[in-house]
Amino acid sequence: MNELWCDSGRGFHPASAPDFLPVEQLRDLQLRRLRSVVQRSYDQVKLFRERMEARNLLPADIQRLEDIKRLPFYEKSDLRDTYPFGLFASPMQEIVRLHASSGTTGKPIVVAYTQEDIDVWSNVMVRSFASCGLHRGDIIQNAYGYGLFTGGLGAHYGAEALGATVIPISGGNTQRQIMILKDFSVTAICCTPSYFLHILDQSAEMKINIKDLPLRVGVFGAEPWTEGMRERIQAESNIEAYDIYGLSEIIGPGVAIECHKHSGLHIFEDVFYPEIVNIHTGEPVPEGAEGELVLTTLTKQAMPMIRYRTHDITRLCRERCACGRTIARIERIARRSDDMLIIRGVNLYPSQIESALLKVEGTLPHYQLILKRDKGLDQVEVDVEVTSEFFSDKISAMEDLQQKLSHAIENTTGLRVDVRLVQPHTIARSEGKAKRVIDKRNL
């Protein structure tokens, strides 16, 4: 048995073996899989074949991993343009599951899985849970939404394959969530970080202290969140909060996850090949530099994605992690290239507001950006909830807090925004992904 594998201490599970592969072996495996997925896509997917032909490329031209750069990108628009089944590489007889992601406009994008794809997905989810120190005997409350969203079923099958006990509660009905957390002695919860905050708020109202429960791990993802948010969550609940990343187009949850060192998310490189490219040119960035994550599914049968542009901004770190895993890490994803708001010429990301707000005492991590246009000029209003102690009648105290927040935001973003303090529970809560921006400019 690999020594490093044992050294990692916590979260050991046999399925996590590929996390600790010697790097040369990992590269060999990646190349073999890359060549096979390129061949499969070329043979089965018209759009891919046409793009290869337009570049005078044959699958056999992929001789080394670096050759991946010669391949065309896939974009989200390709999934929309070929809606619903145009990118499938397996006949329907072999497809056992479809999921869809709603997106903000129009038709959803559809993704497909063969049984083999589902098994790979369960495998990466087992490795994800193992990385959070979970194992057989743990009771996992799965509050990701079940349905077309990949979060619920993805985590569900992974938890079962791990040998843990899964509670398929899905999102919503927060009071029942809290009752079950307590009565079933739940040890881990899966949901979006913003929904967990809501659970914390509600439990305080129900006079249940989450700190008194056996809950010890949170597997949080599906939306950007900050270190400040992690600190709040951990301080208020005494659990260890892990960041899990994934996207429907690639598989769902389980593309990358933190280990107990919490220094980046390990990407399951034997299954998903990562590249980082310049968001404008699509050219590779220097090693370690920030850019857009591009992913290739190395094993997907039903719907392989080759060089899929995720629009998620991160960097890649190939340095060996202290946990012993040899697979690369990506930095926490705080923003998407298409999340960027340009306000009076300044680039603004919602997560910058979150980091600024959480530095100021008295604020709650519930906020929303309202975009308005006044005489042709864009204005941003930041609505932020403040604790009931701070929400006082003393106008001076409130003004003081408002000033502090405006300064903190200006220091972080370079933008002057209007801050509006609102009472706790004023901002609508979501059972899934939080809605951080309301754009009233084009109404």
Residue ranges binding ligand DLL (CB under 6 A) = 101, 144, 150-151, 221-224, 243-248, 252-253, 310, 312, 333, 336
Residue (38 or 186) nearer to ligand DLL, CB: 186
Cα 18 to Cα 252: distance, rounded to the nearest angstrom = 19
- Under 8 Å CB-to-CB from 204, ≥6 apart: which residues? none
* Dist. CA 111–CA 390, nearest whole Å: 47
- Closest contact distance (angstroms) between CB of 55 and ligand DLL is 26
Nearest approach, Cβ of residue 278 and ligand DLL (Å): 18
State which residue has the least CB distance to ligand DLL: 221
Q: What is the helix (H) or strand (E) element at residue 165, kind and residue range? A: strand 165-167
Beta carbon of residue 293, minimum distance to ligand DLL (angstroms, whole number): 8
* Shortest distance (Å) from residue 43 CB to ligand DLL: 27
Partner residues linked to 309 by β-bridges: 294
| Residue given tokens 């009233």 in the structure block | 440
Residue 150 or 326: the one with the smaller Cβ distance to ligand DLL is 150
b/e code 304-334 from CB counts within 10 Å (16+ = b): bbbbbbbbbbbbbbeeebebbbbbbbbbbbb
Among residues 21 and 155, whose Cβ is nearest to ligand DLL? 155
Spatial distance between the Cα atoms of 253 and 154, rounded to a whole number of angstroms? 6
The torsion angle over the Cα atoms of residues 306, 310, 314 and 320, rounded to 10 degrees, is -30
52 versus 197: smaller Cβ distance to ligand DLL:
197
In whole angstroms, the minimum distance from the beta carbon of 151 to ligand DLL comes to: 3
User: Please, are residues 190 and 291 in contact by the beta-carbon 8 Å criterion?
Assistant: no
CB 62 within 8 A of CB 35: yes
| Least distance in angstroms from the C-beta of 188 to ligand DLL | 14
Residue number, 315 or 404, with CB nearest to ligand DLL: 315
Nearest approach in angstroms of CB 393 to ligand DLL is: 39
Q: Torsion angle, CA of 225/228/231/234, rounded to 10 degrees?
A: -30
Nearer to ligand DLL, 31 or 327 (CB): 327
Residue with the two structure tokens 């997925």:
37
Nearer to ligand DLL, 89 or 155 (CB): 155
Residue type, 417: V
